């Protein structure tokens, strides 16, 4: 599959998805959003992909937001459709992706860009990163999950301040807020992210997928997270990975998970 605004590279079980519109600071226009959806649909069933790293091209931006030029003259109904479709096809899709998705934030992560990073399962930033939800400065609110995921990650007060001021915070601030897990130099960003990815890939892919689903249940008002945990914990006992993991421990060797 070839893409106009994305670059995909798969190596040793990891696919790196690069949003690649550097002249527009990787802003998410319709085409890019649609390509991100298509890419993730393919990666879901791709046996060579066990983990996804999401980043932006160039040294300046992860993603500088939704493409403002595209929605400047939208109506109320078009605005709702833009948000609803984006949630379903991209942002929720990534948040519930059964393989780990790590955002490597290499510069500006603003508006839809920060929302994309927040849809990923966790985030690592380079020192030059600047993060924010500037939508209120444009007369709108965040529409790709930002009003919900930001308070989940940083708490209500900080989210209120970030969204109401429309300001940007530094990578160090984002680390302090818990919005990103690590901050490294731009040169180290991908290597460091891959190092963490490798640690994840040593573990059972089935258990990791189940953990993503179960942690997400905490934030789903239609679910009881504890009940989901009890059910999914039980299901783990029926997997081949569980048999291998426990047998390997008892035999004092490294497990070779079949991923089933
Ligand atoms: N939508 C559409 N185009 C965007 C964009 C966005 N969100 N963010 C940047 N671009 C474009 C600029 O229009 C410019 O295009 P041009 O060269 O054809 O004029 C190009 O990317 C480079 O951006 P520029 O503003 O010249 O870079 P800068 O270094 O001066 O400023 C930012 C960088 C990120 C501070 C600035 O681009 C910005 O504020 N972007 C919008 C951020 C935003 O509000 N995002 C939320 C959208 S909901």
Q: Smallest Cα–Cα separation from 102: which of 184, 217, 193? A: 193
Q: Judge contact between 41 and 33, C-beta under 8 A.
A: no
158 C-alpha vs ligand 1 centroid, how far in Å? 24
Q: What is the pLDDT of residues 194-253, one digit of tens each?
A: 999 999 999 999 999 999 999 999 999 999 999 999 999 999 999 999 999 999 999 999
Q: In what order do the strands lie in the sheet with 14-19?
A: 6-11, 14-19, 51-56, 101-105, 122-126, 182-184
Mean pLDDT of 107-124: 98
Residue 20's pLDDT is 98
Residue 236's pLDDT is 98
Mean pLDDT of 36-55: 98
User: Could you tell me how many residues make up the chain?
Assistant: 260
The C-alpha angle with vertex 33 and arms to 43 and 4, in degrees rounded to 5, equals 80
CA pair distance 260, 257, nearest whole angstrom: 8
CA pair distance 205, 100, nearest whole angstrom: 9
Mean pLDDT of 85-96: 98
Neighbours of 108 (CB within 10 A): 24
Mean pLDDT of 181-191: 98
For the Cβ of 67 lying below 6 angstroms from any atom of ligand 1, the answer is yes
CA distances from 122 to 34, 53, 192, 231, 250 (A): 22, 10, 14, 25, 32
Neighbours of 11 (CB within 10 A): 9
For the Cβ of 108 lying below 6 angstroms from any atom of ligand 1, the answer is yes
Active site residue 244: no
- Residue identifier of the C-alpha nearest atom 41 of ligand 1: 64
For the Cβ of 66 lying below 6 angstroms from any atom of ligand 1, the answer is yes
Name residue 123's beta-bridge partners. 103
23 C-alpha vs ligand 1 centroid, how far in Å? 9
Q: Judge contact between 61 and 107, C-beta under 8 A.
A: yes
Class of residue 216 by CB neighbours under 10 A (exposed 0-12, middle 13-18, buried 19+):
middle
State which of 33, 64, 131 you would mutate to test the pocket of ligand 1, scoring each by most atoms of that ligand within 8 A of its C-beta: 64
Tokens of residue 101, six digits: 């998705």
- With H, G, I as helix, E, B as strand and everything else as coil, classify residue 170: strand
Mean pLDDT of 9-25: 98
For the Cβ of 115 lying below 6 angstroms from any atom of ligand 1, the answer is no
Percent of the chain whose predicted confidence (pLDDT) is above 90: 99
pLDDT-based confidence at residue 1 (cuts at 50, 70, 90): confident
Q: What is the pLDDT of residues 123-173, one digit of tens each?
A: 999 999 999 999 999 999 999 999 999 999 999 999 999 999 999 999 999
State which of 21, 24, 82, 133 you would mutate to test the pocket of ligand 1, scoring each by most atoms of that ligand within 8 A of its C-beta: 24
Residue among 115, 172, 229, 231 flagged as catalytic: 115
**Per-position DSSP letters for 173-203, written without gaps between them:** HHHHHTSSSEEE-TTTHHHHHHHHHHHHHTS
- Residue identifier of the C-alpha nearest atom 2 of ligand 1: 67
For the Cβ of 69 lying below 6 angstroms from any atom of ligand 1, the answer is yes
Residue 75 has pLDDT above 90, yes or no: yes
Active site residue 135: yes
For the Cβ of 24 lying below 6 angstroms from any atom of ligand 1, the answer is yes
Mean pLDDT of 167-185: 98
Name residue 55's beta-bridge partners. 18
């Amino acid at each position: 599959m070839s893409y106009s605004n994305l670059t995909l590279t798969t190596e040793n079980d990891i696919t790196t998805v690069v949003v690649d519109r550097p002249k527009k600071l990787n802003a998410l226009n319709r085409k890019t959003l649609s390509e991100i959806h298509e890419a993730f649909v393919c990666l879901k069933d791709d046996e060579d992909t066990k983990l996804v790293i999401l980043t932006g091209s160039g040294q300046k931006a992860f993603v500088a937001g939704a493409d403002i030029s595209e929605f400047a003259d939208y109506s109320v109904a078009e605005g709702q459709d833009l948000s609803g479709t984006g949630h379903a096809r991209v942002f929720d899709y990534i948040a519930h992706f059964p393989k780990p998705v790590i955002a490597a934030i290499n510069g500006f992560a603003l508006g839809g860009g920060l929302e994309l990073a927040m849809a990923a399962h966790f985030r690592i930033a380079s020192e030059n990163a600047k993060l924010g939800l500037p939508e209120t400065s444009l007369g709108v609110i965040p529409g790709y999950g930002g009003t919900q995921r930001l308070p989940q990650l940083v708490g209500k007060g900080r989210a209120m301040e970030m969204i109401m001021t429309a300001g940007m915070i530094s990578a160090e601030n984002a680390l302090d807020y818990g919005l990103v897990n690590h901050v490294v130099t731009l040169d180290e960003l991908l290597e460091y992210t891959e190092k963490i990815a490798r640690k994840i890939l040593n573990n059972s892919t089935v258990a990791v997928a189940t953990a993503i689903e179960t942690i997400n249940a905490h934030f789903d008002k239609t679910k009881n997270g504890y009940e989901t945990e009890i059910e999914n914990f039980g299901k783990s006992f029926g997997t081949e990975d569980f048999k291998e993991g426990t047998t390997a421990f008892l035999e004092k060797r490294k497990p070779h998970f079949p991923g089933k």
